[in-house]
Amino acid sequence: MTSNDRNTTDASTEVVALIAQHQSRLRGFVRCLLAHDKDVDDLLQEVNVVLWQKADQFEIGTDFWAWASQVARFKVMNQVRKYSRDRLVFDESFMTELADLATERSRGFEDQQSALRHCMKQLPGPQRALIEMRYSSERSIGSIADELGRPEGSIRQTLYRIRGLLLQCIELNMPETSR
């Protein structure tokens, strides 16, 4: 193996790690453009494949998120163009607006993550329990509703309110630079 090959392999390894680190951010990005869960897994996988294929084009140390979200946006748009008219959820021009916004607001993700940790601790017990119930094993609203004996709509509403509180809290606890 030549030294050149060695460098390529190391760079690729690093990109694989970056891809892994960005999975959840990419997932949120793709979902907010598609507005439904269908196709998300397949698309995400395609995005990963492209990122990996083009790993040598990525300069380590530059903005990986900017690059990855571009690739994801491209894949989503391509997928949506294949949809029949009656499956379209958002218009293309609107999706572009959303994608711009989502790219922008996902910056400083690492800081958001640590702010979230801080904010979770401040949640009152029952609210925190509900959030953990929902996310710890990706439980469906239906099964939580059954367990708690409350209507699905009310569970959904409560979770929505808690997410709203968390978002406010994260906003307040972000370092000045990445706001």
Partner 1 sequence: MSNDTDREFANLLQLAIDGQIDPGQGQRLQELMRGNPERMNAWVDHFRLDSLLSNEIDRSSVVDLVDLVCPQNSTLDHVSPEVHQTKYRKHTESKAWWVVTAILAVSVLFMAFLFVTGRSLSPFASVATPTQPDTTIAILAQTSEDVWHGNVEPPLLLSPGRLQLESGLAEIRVYNGVTLYLEGPVDLDLNSLEHAHLRHGKLRARVAEQAEGFTVTTDAVRLVDRGTEFAISAGDDGRSQVHVFDGLVDLYPSGKASRDDTNRRPVSEGESVEVDPSFETRRTEFALDRFPSAQAMDQSVANRFERWKSWSTEFAKRPDLLVYYNFEEFGEKGNGRNTVIDLADANPINATVVGCEMLTGRWPQKKALGFYNPADRLRVRIPGRWPNLTMACWVRLDELRGVNQALLLTDSFDAWQPHWQIAKEGTLKLGIGQDTVEESRRMRSPSTPLNELAPLGRWMHLATVYNAERKTVDHYVNGNKAGSNGLPVAEPLHIGTAEIGNWLRPRQTGNEPIRNLDGRIDEFMLLRSALNAETIKEIYQAGR
Considering CB under 8 A, how many residues would be counted as binding partner 1?
74
Give the span between the Cα atoms of 134 and 161, in whole angstroms: 14
| Shortest distance, position 13 Cβ to partner 1, whole Å | 6
Q: Does 157 bind partner 1 (CB under 8 A)?
A: yes
- CB 134 within 8 Å of CB 152: no
Which is nearer to partner 1, 13 or 63 (by Cβ)? 13
Asked if 2 is part of the footprint of partner 1 (rule: CB under 8 A), the reply reads yes
Mark 101-120 with x for binding to partner 1 (rule: CB under 8 A) and - for no binding. Answer: xx--xx--x--xx--xx--x
Min separation Cβ 177 and partner 1, Å:
19
| Contact partners, residue 22, CB within 8 Å, separation at least 6 | 64, 65, 68
> In terms of CB distance, is 9 or 59 closer to partner 1?
9
Under the binding rule (CB under 8 A), the answer on residue 85 touching partner 1 is yes
Joined tokens for residue 35: 């507005």
For residue 174, which phi and psi values (nearest 5 degrees)?
-80, 145
Indicate the SS3 state at residue 82.
helix
User: Which of 78, 94, 126, 147 is the binder for partner 1 (CB under 8 A)?
Assistant: 94
Q: How far apart are CA 166 and CA 123, in angstroms?
A: 8
H-helix or E-strand containing 103?
Answer: helix 92-105
- Site for partner 1, residues 28 to 47, rule: CB under 8 A: 28-29, 31-32, 35-37, 41-42, 44-45
